[in-house]
Homo-oligomer: A and B are copies of this chain.
Amino acid sequence: MSAVADRLAALGLSVPPVATPVASYVPALAHGGFVFTSGQLPFVDGVLVATGKVGGEVGAEEAYELARTAALNAVAAVGSVVDLDDVVQVVKVGVFVASASGFTGQPGVANGASDLLAAAFGEAGQHARSAVGVAELPLGSPVEVELQVAVRA
């Protein structure tokens, strides 16, 4: 069992299957020592588990959990193209939060992604991050998470 899978299992989590995009793009792409993921939504078993704006229909604590779920899907996307134990560093995380007018707590939401990555990768999970509040996300998702990670050559 891999070290990353072990760490996730300790949280009661496992790496989910990866949804195949119905288009000319891929869940993740490896090149030049990096893996880039597509923006990932909080799908669980093929179902988007919430819709709506954070600060509106969706509370900040629920959004933290959704960011964690989206980040787990992003980890799965990385694992679809490389061995997760070959990740040497998560370098950059982008968290897009569909935000109701006046909601400015994007960092607290994005911590759901950051905390999951720390749990999954340990020291290698430290990363730079941008968190922004956007107008709308695909399918009405409250959050979207993208990763760039460095992998063993």
Most buried by B among A34, A99, A104, A128: A128
Copies in the complex: 3
Taking a contact as CB atoms closer than 8 A, the residue among B96, B115, B150 that contacts A24 in the complex is B115
A88 vs B115: C-alpha distance in the bound complex, in angstroms?
A: 32
* Chain B residue at smallest Cβ distance from A141: B104
Taking a contact as CB atoms closer than 8 A, the residue among B28, B99, B144 that contacts A128 in the complex is B28
For chain A, the bracket of interface size reads: 35 or more
Is the C-beta of A101 less than 8 angstroms from some C-beta in chain B?
Answer: yes
Residues of chain B with a CB closer than 8 A to A139's CB: 104, 107
Residues of chain B with a CB closer than 8 A to A88's CB: 31
Is the C-beta of A106 less than 8 angstroms from some C-beta in chain B?
Answer: yes
Q: A31-B150, A104-B137, A107-B138 are in contact. Are A132 and B24 (CB under 8 A)?
A: no
Residues of chain B with a CB closer than 8 A to A101's CB: 135-136
Q: A36-B92, A106-B137, A107-B138 are in contact. Are A128 and B26 (CB under 8 A)?
A: yes
A114 vs B67: C-alpha distance in the bound complex, in angstroms?
A: 25
Residues on A facing B (Cβ under 8 Å):
21, 23-29, 31-34, 36-39, 88-89, 91-94, 96-99, 101-107, 110-111, 114-115, 117-118, 125-141, 144, 146, 148, 150
